[in-house]
Amino acid sequence: MPRKKSQNIITVPRVDIVLLIVGTRGDVQPFVALGRVLLAAGHRVRLATHETFRKFVRGNGLEFFPLAGNPADLMSFVVKNSGIIPSISSIAAGDLIKHRHVITDILTSTWHACTVEDDETGKPFTAEAIIANPPSFGHIHCAHKLQIPLHIIFTIPWSPTTAFPHPFFTVDYSKASVEKVNMLSYSAVEMFAWSSMRDIVNEFRNDTLGLPSLHTRQATYMMIDERVPFTYCWSPSFVPKPNDWASYINVSGFFFLDHDATTDTKIPDGLVKFLGLSNHYRNESLSPVIYIGFGSITGYDSDRILYIILEALEKTGYRAVLSGLAKDNDKLPKNVFKIDNISHDWLFQHVSAVCHHGGAGTTAAGLRAGKPTIIVPFFGDQFFWGNAIEKNGAGPRALPGKNLTADDLAEAFKFVHQPKVRAAAERIRDAILKENGCEEALRAFHTHLPTSRMRSDLESTYTACYTLNEFHLQISRHVAQVLVISGRIKATQLHLHSTRYWPSMFDNRIHPPFHGIIKHSQKAIVQIFSDTTTGFKQAMHSHTWTKSTYNVVESVLLGLINGIGHLCIGCLSLYGELTDVLNAVPSYYDPYNESSYHSRPYVIDFDTGINAAMCAFIDGWKDGMMDVVTKPRIGYERHGKLGGVAGLLIGVVNSLFKPVVGTLSSLTWFCRGIYTNINNERLVDKGLETYTVNTLGLGSLPSTITQEELKQHYNNNMKQTVKTASIVSGFSPDVCQQIINDFDNIKKQYVDDRLHKLGRVLLAAGHRVRLATHEKFRKFVRENGLEFFSLVRNPADLMSFIYAAGDLIKHRHVITDILTSAWHACTVEDDETGKPFTAEAIIANPPSFGHIHCAHKLQIPLHIIFTIPWSPTTAFPHPFFTVDYSKASVEKVNMLSYSAVEMFAWSNMRDIVNEFRNETLGLPSLHHHYTRQATYMMIDERVPYTYFWSPSFVPKPNDWASHINVSGFFFLDHDTTTDTKIPDGLIKFLDPNNHYRNESLSPVIYIGFGSITGHDSDRILYIVLEALEKTGYRAVLSGLAKDNDKLLKNVFKIDNISHDWLFQHVSAVCHHGGAGTTAAGLRADKPTIIVPFFVDQFFRSNAIEKNGAGPRALPGKNLTSDDLAKAFKFVHQPKVRAAAERIRDAILKENGCEEALRIFHIHLPISRMRSDLESTYTACYRLDEFHLQISRHVAQVLVISGRIKAT
């Protein structure tokens, strides 16, 4: 599907992001800072938090949505219980029940925050990504429902590690090692939280979101199982990232809100005078000033804390700026100045130290100001920060608020004024000033987004949030607005687009036998009892005997039906549990079972159930057959002869046991798919509506324009429709018009979504694929999972014919045989299985010759795919044409070269081709005297072409039409026929120390010439060896040398070694310029020397030279050792390596096979291929009397059932 460039070229589309934040001002402020950075990056940002922060959030330019809960109440609960785990006294006082109600409200409000319009502007909003802190609770459940990405960002550790315990866990290291206790603390907190909230969360999932319930293992490990990205906003120089945290967990640096628009920037004169700033910012006669503040921790035991502070100040003689604690009517001594909302960034520059509760924001501000810090923690993360301050030497040990004394605080005041403590604080400050936490968090957020699923088709500025299933498009809300307003689609055609799957949210546990039948038997009994009771109650209130009898009978029958349904499900569940047990049996008697381990699938709908059933069946039979071979080998390798015998016995048992179990299990997974799909349908009416005009934002249409008028505008005045679409969507009129045009083109040629993904890619897309090529490649094709048909002639003969100056006349018999076998490849049954085959589409390369004639006979689509240009262009000549630019301009010669090659080929093959058309195909001859029909038929018929080279390597010429495409290279990354075992001698040759680089060794060059080994190979080998001797380089040599040839010590001869592995460990490559070898070398970023022998090899060598990734071509016929030696030196220059790396980077962003698949699908005549009655398979027959086109499979049903005759 075409994708247009966005108006603003950014790597990540613009996303509608909701930030779900529960907590105090200190918790919210970092996310306001992050929100502003996200906003500056082009995203739409809604910060959902408590109502009390509305002005703070709105004032900083972000959208706001209120979450339930009061931060003061939440703080009171946490302080009173020193964390989230309630004390006995708190439970007795009813705090836990109240807290559960708050959590229920928070969960509901998180869903509203993701889906409800703005409560001030009325602007529609549906989240496309969620950023949240853990206490917002509903984040992952809302992300699961909306199928969108989630990113957790927090100020304290929430990911299991051995480095430090969970901040809300009371540590006791007497029972186990520090590392073990630390790691277990996280699961302990998760388990406790889940046990107290399980019913609330599952009720929220069931009733509000329409999602299935979670079990304990799912709930407590869902963040880990789903690899949800975490970013911790503290400085890595203050608390480094633990070594056992995975790559998706990041430490970004502190978030600082440098320009808070809501903070009063006017500093009271009294404060300026108190700080001594009116006298050049420092008055040496004044004692140091300490900042003392406890944030939101003011309502708990504040009188006692204030008294201790004042006493400690009196003992030490220090002065203080006091934030909070004291009431307005409290009388404070002269050495204390009370403040309200003063910017920490300014204030902390003018105090000598800071003393506070250890909130993340205050700690970060103090450290950025380089101030020694005293932390008086009350709960949770505050102890974490206190420990980190002490460990870094920037302050004393933490002084817990509940045990605080004036003496301890006085000692701490003195401690932070020591020079070594100030030096430690300044060292941390210097590190923090080099970091940018918000920007790093933005980078981490972008890195973990599934951008391929988020990028919108037609116009890619905004995130895709809808799918148009019938056109196989994923589009943004803005593109959808354009299409709806222009009348191209209806709003009801739009469906919610999943950008992130959450498979672990579906239960794939192995249950003990009888678990299901017991569970569903209980449900059956309850159902029968409840329905019968309901019927009797209704009967008692009925006024007539007839009505009473009807109610009783109806309820009893309903109860019996539901009860029998539950019993049936229970029996199927028992069957499934027994097959699960049978699947596990080999693990008890087979010590080598890990070699055939298969992960347990997640079944989330009918399709995944079908896939799981197929995998179970295939794996059972495949493992059973393979174990007879693999188990004896593994047993012998591990335990010698006895192990081999044991392995053989195990293999024989498995060959009988596993196919049976696989067959039985396939039914289990099939039934689970059906059951899950029914459950999904039952819940589908809950939660978010996946398509409505309202969520599209069409409420913002100009009031003077109605939908009927829009339709009329579409018919009569296109410009007005585009203008309206531009107003609503925000796109320019030109972009709107382009979206409409692109959609109209796709609508004409769209592909049915059953026809979905060349060779293995086509197979994976659901097509039946036969690869017809030379007999030599039978094993290669079959072992890669494709059907094979043999084209006559040996590729060596073909190579010899091509090499011999294109002498078609001498090799006419080769062409005759290829033509005939091409027809057989399209129509003859499989020569191994006997399975019938008739082609319904042809993909071919031009040298297969018979392609268009077979397509003509069968009346089916043809698509040409090739590695070298075969379509006329002024950009470069036909590779088979010897260029002479002295007769005309370059462009004219290039263009004419293609018709010259076609005319020459036709003049030499005309009688062969026409004989094939007449006698084999029964088609009329192509014109003998009027050659245009034959030489221009591909152009006249607009046969689609796809060239599989990288467009960044050789761009598509501007004069190629839209049906000619450049897809990117094709790579067979997992070739099952290539020997993956690397010879020990090769590893030693590449590096004796097994490090793949030893500076004492000269660079190694790969040298190979593919199929060009029979032509003058002795001369070429001599030149190669002489060039290596002259330069001192070493070489890995593929081909050329015979087994009995004696080679120098600096040359290692190889056979069938994977290029993907080998090219990673050489410095450059030298070869004949074959398409595959060139592509592999470029993907491995290797400078390339091409020694071409004919045609396309010169084409690629010219491209290599033009891109600066290698020297000019060294034609094989004129090759000398001096030229080759110079080329060896040339490719080791830094600029050449840099050019190769630049090409590599571009190639790695491409997927040639998938792009070719997309192009192949686009050019199929879908409407003529779709079968009536049942549309899975391609229509290949007509029933003229009924005006039907049907597939072979439908025809079989109709003939067998006697509905029609085969005639």
What is the DSSP annotation of 300-318?
SSHHHHHHHHHHHHHHH--
Per-residue pLDDT, averaged over 947-962, amounts to 89
Nearest by Cα to 1054 from 1067, 1081, 1035, 1070: 1035
Per-residue pLDDT, averaged over 575-597, amounts to 75
Residue 989's pLDDT is 86
Q: Are the C-beta atoms of residues 1101 and 1092 closer than 8 Å to each other?
A: yes
**Residue 757 pLDDT exceeds 60:** no
pTM of the entire predicted model: 0.58
One-letter amino acid of 224: I
DSSP-based three-state secondary structure for 66? strand
Contacts of 127 (CB under 8 A, 6+ apart): 16, 17, 18, 46, 113, 114, 115, 142, 146, 148
Residue 6's pLDDT is 34
Pairing, β 1068-1071 against β 1051-1054:
unpaired
DSSP-based three-state secondary structure for 945? strand
Please state the φ and ψ torsions of residue 251, each to the nearest 5 degrees: -120, 115
pLDDT, greater one: 815 or 140:
140
Please state the φ and ψ torsions of residue 993, each to the nearest 5 degrees: -95, 10
| Bridge partner residues of 131 (DSSP) | 19, 151
Nearest by Cα to 123 from 66, 63, 209: 63
Nearest by Cα to 326 from 302, 351, 350, 352: 302
Per-residue pLDDT, averaged over 150-159, amounts to 94
Q: How far is CA 987 from CA 391, 1066, 1069, in A?
A: 47, 12, 18
**Residue 534 pLDDT exceeds 80:** no
Nearest by Cα to 1067 from 1005, 1000, 1159: 1005
Pairing, β 862-866 against β 1068-1071:
unpaired
**Residue 805 pLDDT exceeds 70:** no
Distance, in Å, from the CA atom of 909 to the CA atom of 6, rounded to the nearest integer, reads 49
Nearest by Cα to 374 from 425, 438, 330: 425
Distance, in Å, from the CA atom of 623 to the CA atom of 585, rounded to the nearest integer, reads 14
pLDDT-derived band at 1120, boundaries 50, 70, 90: very high
| Bridge partner residues of 457 (DSSP) | none
**Residue 251 pLDDT exceeds 90:** yes
**Residue 479 pLDDT exceeds 60:** yes
Lowest mean pLDDT among 336-345, 535-544, 906-915, 1117-1126: 535-544
Task: Give me the sign of the Cα torsion angle 1064, 1065, 1066, 1069.
Answer: negative
Residue 818's pLDDT is 84
pLDDT-derived band at 3, boundaries 50, 70, 90: very low
DSSP-based three-state secondary structure for 1112? coil
Task: Give me the sign of the Cα torsion angle 811, 812, 813, 819.
Answer: positive
Distance, in Å, from the CA atom of 602 to the CA atom of 620, rounded to the nearest integer, reads 18
Nearest by Cα to 747 from 1155, 966, 468: 468
Among left, alpha and beta (phi > 0; psi -120 to 50; other), residue 640 is left
Distance, in Å, from the CA atom of 719 to the CA atom of 658, rounded to the nearest integer, reads 67
Distance, in Å, from the CA atom of 241 to the CA atom of 251, rounded to the nearest integer, reads 6
DSSP-based three-state secondary structure for 866? strand
Q: What is the CA radius of gyration of the chain?
A: 37
The strands making up 353-356's β-sheet, listed across from edge to edge, are 336-339, 319-323, 289-293, 353-356, 373-375
Residue 511's pLDDT is 64
Distance, in Å, from the CA atom of 357 to the CA atom of 34, rounded to the nearest integer, reads 23
Distance, in Å, from the CA atom of 755 to the CA atom of 765, rounded to the nearest integer, reads 6
Most confident of the following: 31-40, 837-846, 1042-1051: 31-40
| Element of type H or E holding 770 | strand 770-774
Residue 885's pLDDT is 61
Q: How far is CA 1187 from CA 603, 800, 858, 1182, 1183, in A?
A: 41, 52, 20, 7, 6
Task: Give me the sign of the Cα torsion angle 686, 691, 694, 696.
Answer: positive
Tokens 């500025």 identify what position? 461
pLDDT-derived band at 705, boundaries 50, 70, 90: very low
pLDDT, greater one: 599 or 732:
732
**Residue 857 pLDDT exceeds 80:** yes
Distance, in Å, from the CA atom of 201 to the CA atom of 1108, rounded to the nearest integer, reads 60
Per-residue pLDDT, averaged over 720-731, amounts to 83
Distance, in Å, from the CA atom of 1001 to the CA atom of 988, rounded to the nearest integer, reads 12
Q: How far is CA 315 from CA 13, 395, 608, 1054, in A?
A: 60, 19, 72, 84
pLDDT, greater one: 684 or 1113:
1113
CA atoms within a 13 Å half-sphere pointing along the CA-CB vector of 1009: 20
| Residue 146: CB atoms within 10 Å | 28
**Residue 78 pLDDT exceeds 70:** no
Torsion of CA 295, 296, 299, 300, to 10 degrees: -80
Q: Are the C-beta atoms of residues 1106 and 1167 closer than 8 Å to each other?
A: no
**Residue 84 pLDDT exceeds 80:** no
Domains of the chain, with CATH numbers? 16-190 (3.40.50.720), 269-435 (3.40.50.2000), 451-494+693-749 (no CATH), 585-690 (no CATH), 760-966 (3.40.50), 984-1149 (3.40.50.2000), 1170-1200 (no CATH)
pLDDT-derived band at 230, boundaries 50, 70, 90: very high
Nearest by Cα to 425 from 462, 477, 502, 373: 373
One-letter amino acid of 386: G
Nearest by Cα to 805 from 1094, 524, 393, 553: 1094
Q: Are the C-beta atoms of residues 817 and 793 closer than 8 Å to each other?
A: yes
Distance, in Å, from the CA atom of 737 to the CA atom of 719, rounded to the nearest integer, reads 9
Per-residue pLDDT, averaged over 352-356, amounts to 94
pLDDT-derived band at 62, boundaries 50, 70, 90: very high
DSSP-based three-state secondary structure for 662? helix
Q: Are the C-beta atoms of residues 33 and 45 closer than 8 Å to each other?
A: no
DSSP-based three-state secondary structure for 591? coil
DSSP string, 396-462: -S---GGG--HHHHHHHHHHTTSHHHHHHHHHHHHHHHT--HHHHHHHHHHHTS-HHHHBPSS--SB
Q: Are the C-beta atoms of residues 546 and 600 closer than 8 Å to each other?
A: no
Distance, in Å, from the CA atom of 514 to the CA atom of 1110, rounded to the nearest integer, reads 69
**Residue 788 pLDDT exceeds 70:** yes
For a pLDDT cut of 90, what percent of the chain falls above it?
A: 29
Distance, in Å, from the CA atom of 1072 to the CA atom of 1140, rounded to the nearest integer, reads 18
Please provide the average confidence, as pLDDT, over all residues in the chain: 81
C-alpha angle 758-761-766 in degrees, rounded to nearest 5:
110
**Residue 1036 pLDDT exceeds 70:** yes
pLDDT-derived band at 720, boundaries 50, 70, 90: confident
The strands making up 129-132's β-sheet, listed across from edge to edge, are 63-67, 44-50, 16-20, 129-132, 150-154, 230-232, 249-251
DSSP string, 830-847: PTTT------SSEEE-GG
What pLDDT digit, counting tens, does each position of 1141-1186 carry?
A: 999 999 998 888 888 888 888 888 877 788 878 878 888 888 877 7
| Residue 50: CB atoms within 10 Å | 24
**Residue 477 pLDDT exceeds 80:** yes
Distance, in Å, from the CA atom of 242 to the CA atom of 249, rounded to the nearest integer, reads 10
Distance, in Å, from the CA atom of 430 to the CA atom of 439, rounded to the nearest integer, reads 18
DSSP string, 249-292: EEE------TT-TTS--PPPHHHHHHHTTTTTT--TTSPPEEEE
Distance, in Å, from the CA atom of 1003 to the CA atom of 1033, rounded to the nearest integer, reads 6
Lowest mean pLDDT among 73-82, 411-420, 494-503, 995-1004: 73-82
| Residue 637: CB atoms within 10 Å | 12
Per-residue pLDDT, averaged over 781-806, amounts to 62
Per-residue pLDDT, averaged over 1012-1034, amounts to 82
